[in-house]
Chains A and B, each alone.
Chain A
């Protein structure tokens, strides 16, 4: 559709576009402003937060990395997130493969059930797990938290990997089957290499979700298994220490880094020549 009227916006059109762009950018600013201001403020030193910072200082970061209370929870969060992401990626990738390539009765219902942990409020899951783990005597253990977080992040892995699987032409697997390859060989030699970008993206998101997760962890951790978000949550509630600005900045940078990396992987995956749209030959 090529309409001349499109190309020369009139005055009313320009006012309309201008106004709605201004509103949209104001909302973008509202979304980003607070986080960016906290990042800037985190360099203002331990005497007190000020904006704009009167001097550039890394003092808050030094205090953070020198206090065992914070570094301990940082390490704990990293351990939990790495283990949960690993478990979630292994389980989620297999599940996504079966859901996209097998046809059986009740598949759509199963998909809906598997995605339920995303939709249900975390506090409900957290309470269920709290009761369950105290019954199993797993309260306050790292193992319990890893299991809980794996359950929580696996749906996201399934979504990410399923999107990747849609890009792979199933005829390739059919051809491999005709040539005599079994499911294990097909997975190992054909599907997993092609899926690698989506799996990596899914792993990064799973890591980040577990690392940032606060509600389930709040219910499940004990004094010795506290994660960084739990430490941060109780810390903001009791005293607003300026160190939190440094912690916030580190967490925001982690999110930014992981988002950019995941996007890069996904774009690399999108360029795969063997995508469904181009792969009829």
Chain B
């Protein structure tokens, strides 16, 4: 016997969310599309301007480079954490999971500020190096700073798809391999890791989607050469007040994210089906 909500009650319950989403989400996005396509009537000027803009091309390339590099490194660092969590008994795992969840709920401003305190010219790291008579390292206001900041942001997100996969793996395969005399390194290389590849891929794609839209980290930890797409949208919106251009870039970002999200949900469906 299934509880079935009468249609009138269902409509009553859904009306507020539909109104909110239509008025404060869908309509603004549509307006953004319209702004990108309107200049005294339908016009693709903003998009043509994008195609020929050296700045846009450079920023797009920077964004792709930073996103790929940070995502790859974040997944590589998230993997040992997921593997460690998967090995723990459930209660201890829940406790350690809190360690992963807490950074997820920490403001990105706090994290970025922390890195400026640690990595800057007069920062703690450089002071320590000076104290040991070592040369200073330039880790802030350049590519390295942005990548460190973004990796730090991505790791907690990247842990979960891998962890889900590792927990769903059939332990009998490992036992069989062990009985046949395989050591833990061989078991990892031949069984655990290959089986976890869908999780790794899902985690990588998710990291890419998240890093595409980074605004705060490149603004605070990067230099002029490390401006990403979101910063360019911010610049065209608020500094140069070129709203059609800003909107066209946002449309590109929206479509790119949409494609990656579709890939991601396909990957997750596959993982669910195989698990």
- A127-B7 contact, Cβ under 8 Å, with A236-B112, A251-B110: no
Chain A residues, CB < 8 A from B114 = 34-35, 37-38, 248
Does chain A have a CB within 8 A of B183?
yes
**Cβ contact within 8 Å between A256 and B102:** yes
Does chain A have a CB within 8 A of B227?
no
**Cβ contact within 8 Å between B184 and A12:** yes
**Cβ contact within 8 Å between A232 and B113:** yes
Q: Which of B18-26, B49-57, B266-274 contacts A (4 or more CB under 8 A)?
A: B18-26
**CA of A58 to CA of B5 in the docked complex: distance in angstroms?**
56
- Pick from A13, A91, A121, A170: contact of B213, CB below 8 A: A121
Does chain A have a CB within 8 A of B103?
yes
Chain A residues, CB < 8 A from B185 = 12, 16
Chain B residues, CB < 8 A from A103 = 2, 4
What's the minimum C-beta distance from B242 to chain A, rounded to whole angstroms? 12
Does chain A have a CB within 8 A of B64?
no
**Cβ contact within 8 Å between A236 and B116:** yes
- A237-B124 contact, Cβ under 8 Å, with A101-B4, A259-B98: no
Number of interface residues of A (CB under 8 A): 92
**Cβ contact within 8 Å between B100 and A121:** no
**Cβ contact within 8 Å between A13 and B233:** no
**Cβ contact within 8 Å between A214 and B216:** yes
**CA of A27 to CA of B225 in the docked complex: distance in angstroms?**
28
Chain B residues, CB < 8 A from A214 = 107-109, 216
Residue among A17, A31, A170, A183 with the highest chain B CB neighbour number at 10 A: A31
**CA of A104 to CA of B9 in the docked complex: distance in angstroms?**
13
**Which of the four size classes fits the interface of chain B?**
35 or more
Chain A residues, CB < 8 A from B12 = 94, 183
- A23-B80 contact, Cβ under 8 Å, with A101-B3, A119-B261: yes
Interface code A246-277, partner B: CB below 8 Å = 1, 0 otherwise?
Answer: 00100110011011000100000000000000
Chain A residues, CB < 8 A from B171 = 1
Does chain B have a CB within 8 A of A140?
no
**Cβ contact within 8 Å between A20 and B32:** no
- A34-B111 contact, Cβ under 8 Å, with A121-B257, A127-B233: yes
Chain B residues, CB < 8 A from A135 = 31
Does chain B have a CB within 8 A of A114?
yes
Chain A residues, CB < 8 A from B201 = none
Chain A residues, CB < 8 A from B5 = 97-98, 101-102, 183
What's the minimum C-beta distance from B20 to chain A, rounded to whole angstroms? 6
**Cβ contact within 8 Å between B25 and A31:** no
**Cβ contact within 8 Å between B113 and A38:** yes
- A95-B16 contact, Cβ under 8 Å, with A113-B21, A121-B257, A127-B233: yes
**CA of A119 to CA of B120 in the docked complex: distance in angstroms?**
32
**Cβ contact within 8 Å between B109 and A251:** yes
**CA of A99 to CA of B9 in the docked complex: distance in angstroms?**
12
**Cβ contact within 8 Å between A123 and B110:** no
**Cβ contact within 8 Å between A123 and B81:** no
In chain A, residues 1-49, which have Cβ atoms closer than 8 Å to a Cβ of chain B? 1, 3, 5-6, 10, 12-13, 16-17, 20-21, 23-25, 27-28, 30-32, 34-35, 37-38, 41, 49
